[in-house]
A = this chain, B = another copy of it.
Amino acid sequence: MTDLCKTPGLAESVVALMDIDPERLEAVYVLATKYAEEIGSSLTFTKTADLEEALGDADFVINTAMAGGHDYLEKVRRIGEKHGYYRGIDAQEFNMVSDYFTFSNYNQFALFLTVARAVERLAPKGWYVQAANPVFEGVTLITRTVPIKVVGFCHGHYALNAIFAALELDPAEVDWQVAWFNHAIWLNRFRYRGEDAYPLLDRWIAEKAKDWKPKSPFDDQLSPVALDMYRFYGVMPVGDTVRNATWRCHRDLSTKVRWYGEPWGGADSEPGWTWYQETLRQATEIMKFVAKTLVRNPFIKLRELGEQGARFGIPLEFAAELEKLLDHQRKSGEQHVPFIDALLNDQGARFVLNIPNDGILSGIPRAVAVEVPAWVDKDGIHPEAIEPPLPPRVVNYYLYPRMIRMEMALDASLTGDLRVLKEVLYRDPRTRSDAQVEAVLAEILDLPENVEMKRHYCQSP
């Protein structure tokens, strides 16, 4: 929203906020309205709990929702662990990201389809923007089932900056390319001032890798696992790709710590994920608290709230964050708004987008979502030619296995064939018996949140 307010070409837009949680909806609405007014934007906001009302005739429909929220995910993870599936049944080789549930969050896939079909019906010329995870499965699902324009966003590729910073490169002079799937992107091209930059990375590894320490659970771009993948595959994994290793690096907490660094063992370990959830919870609480404070003190400005935060019981971090948000020159760095600006106002720019492959990447079927760099302008999306191509080892050992799991997730959620979910678990190295598979799925399907899921899967053969 702050990006929208800072984008002159989109100043007259109407933003329809939609949420089924009235408290959160109200908080966002209050904050957005206040912010727009204060920064001098003529953006208009509406709010509703009704999906159809929100998206009537929209040019862009941004879906950021997670069905069930984090509480549901943790509940399902606990059931998985009870039955011998460390970190839950959705933690799978090449998808260890803790909120990227592809098998047990049927409701999320159903929600994707509900929104996309509503777009088809009510805003057929609009773009459906998949910002909620799982982006890979989501964009592929919509591509195959709903005839609308779809694009997915992730910010994983910004982890490139961690590499540039470590090697002390000027980002403006790096010629880089990343591609393949969401959370499975690789630095196929890495040149600096006209020369291959991989030798610079090799030197960093030889000289400095031993001193590396993560600054947060998510700081893994130069972790031992990333470097091991680089050595084995021949190119660097980028962003969340690093989290998505095999069980070799995820067997248990001490294994994770060895590969992802002390003390957390990466974002997807028990302490790493607790850290993330706590951070998320705090941010949400602050947002709600600030919104309430604004309602109670309607004449106060956001800037004053930042400056005098302590007076209102608002933490320091928020004050610092607010200063950035109120800086006209400073955008979030997320791609959503610049993408819209590029398309609508011909503000051509380069993005990394999740779009239907449709022949962009050879060796990958056409109706699979790929994450690729593309130039976007008023004429649309122009994917870059990928050069050089990816080493076959990445395609065969990392991308195909990941693609197979995507296919299984889509097959299960489209057909309602419970045998597919079982098949996923039969092939899971944590599975010891058919009984274990039956028990874990039965308990997940019996959750009150999964009445629909159970109906979906248990009416089929």
Contacts and interface: CB of A to CB of B under 8 A. Distances in A.
Interface stretch (A309-317, A347-355, A393-401): A393-401
Interface string A423-437: 100111101001000
A97 B52 CA distance: 56
Contacts of A434: 248
A397 B426 CA distance: 12
Given A404-B396, A404-B400, A419 B232 contact: yes
The DSSP consensus for interface residues of chain A is helix
Interface string A405-426: 0011001000000010001001
B404 A397 contact: yes
A363 interface: yes
Contact of A393 (B248, B403, B411, B431): B411
A423 B407 CA distance: 23
Interface string A245-278: 0111000000000000000000000000000000
Contacts of A248: 426-427, 434
Given A93-B427, A363-B365, A407 B396 contact: yes
A365 B419 CA distance: 29
A411 B93 CA distance: 21
A359 interface: no
Given A363-B365, A419-B232, A434-B248, A407 B427 contact: no
A428 B392 CA distance: 21
Copies of this chain, whole number = 2
Interface size range of chain A in the complex? 20 to 34
A396 B396 CA distance: 13
Given A232-B419, A392-B407, A429 B426 contact: no
A68 to B, nearest CB: 27
A434 B407 CA distance: 30
B423 A232 contact: yes
Interface string A55-89: 00000000000000000000000000000000000
A211 to B, nearest CB: 23
- Residue from the set A365, A396, A434 with the largest chain B CB neighbour count within 10 Å: A396
A405 to B, nearest CB: 10
Contact of A408 (B396, B407, B408): B396
Contacts of A365: 363
Interface string A197-235: 000000000000000000000000000000000001000
8 contacts: A93-B427, A232-B419, A246-B427, A248-B434, A397-B408, A400-B400, A401-B404, A428-B429
Given A93-B427, A248-B434, A429-B431, 15 more contacts: A232-B419, A232-B423, A246-B426, A248-B426, A248-B427, A392-B407, A392-B411, A396-B403, A396-B404, A397-B404, A397-B407, A397-B408, A397-B423, A427-B429, A429-B429
